[in-house]
Amino acid sequence: MEVQGTRSLPVASSRAWESLMDPDVLRKCIPGCKDLTSEGDRKYRLEIEMGIAAIKGRYEGSVEITDVAEEESYTLHIHAEGSPGFVTATLVFRLSAEGGGTLLSYDGTADVGGMIASVGQRMVGGVAKLVAKQFFDALVREIRTAAH
């Protein structure tokens, strides 16, 4: 499934970039994240708990940041597996100046399998949008907290 959107961030692009590259900020912002541990060179081990409809579970996997263009863009690769199935996503984040803040745009693909896929693509798409909203709402809160 295709995933895309934009979000305005209330800080300069350099500060937005620092937040998006900070594993502590990512850990706090990724919905359901229980652990995000560095494995070196922009690679992380990920543990999350998440549910779609009645299918809930714990997932373990990896996060990797590649194709880094400092303070402009990067690609985020996520793969997680658990008893309910698997999730694989590749997202490209782009930052651009917008007034006194930053416009963050993202686009990519996400695939699910196992029991998760059985709830239907339509519901999974809705959950993907909700998870993205939760992530960016948390990111804005973290940015505002760090600014004070």
Specify the pLDDT at position 55.
Answer: 73
Specify the pLDDT at position 50.
Answer: 81
Specify the pLDDT at position 53.
Answer: 64
For residue 136, the Cα-to-chain-centroid distance in whole angstroms is 8
Specify the pLDDT at position 113.
Answer: 80
Pick from 7, 15, 11, 28: which is nearest to 106 by CA?
7
Question: Quick check: helix, strand or coil at residue 22?
Answer: coil
Domains of the chain: 2-147 (3.30.530.20)
Q: Which sign does the torsion angle of CA 142, 22, 29, 139 carry?
A: positive
Each of the 148 residues of the chain gets a pLDDT tens digit; together they read: 888 999 999 899 999 999 999 999 999 998 889 999 999 999 999 999 887 666 788 999 999 999 999 999 999 999 999 988 888 889 999 999 998 899 999 998 888 888 766 765 666 677 777 888 888 899 989 988 876 5
Specify the pLDDT at position 68.
Answer: 96
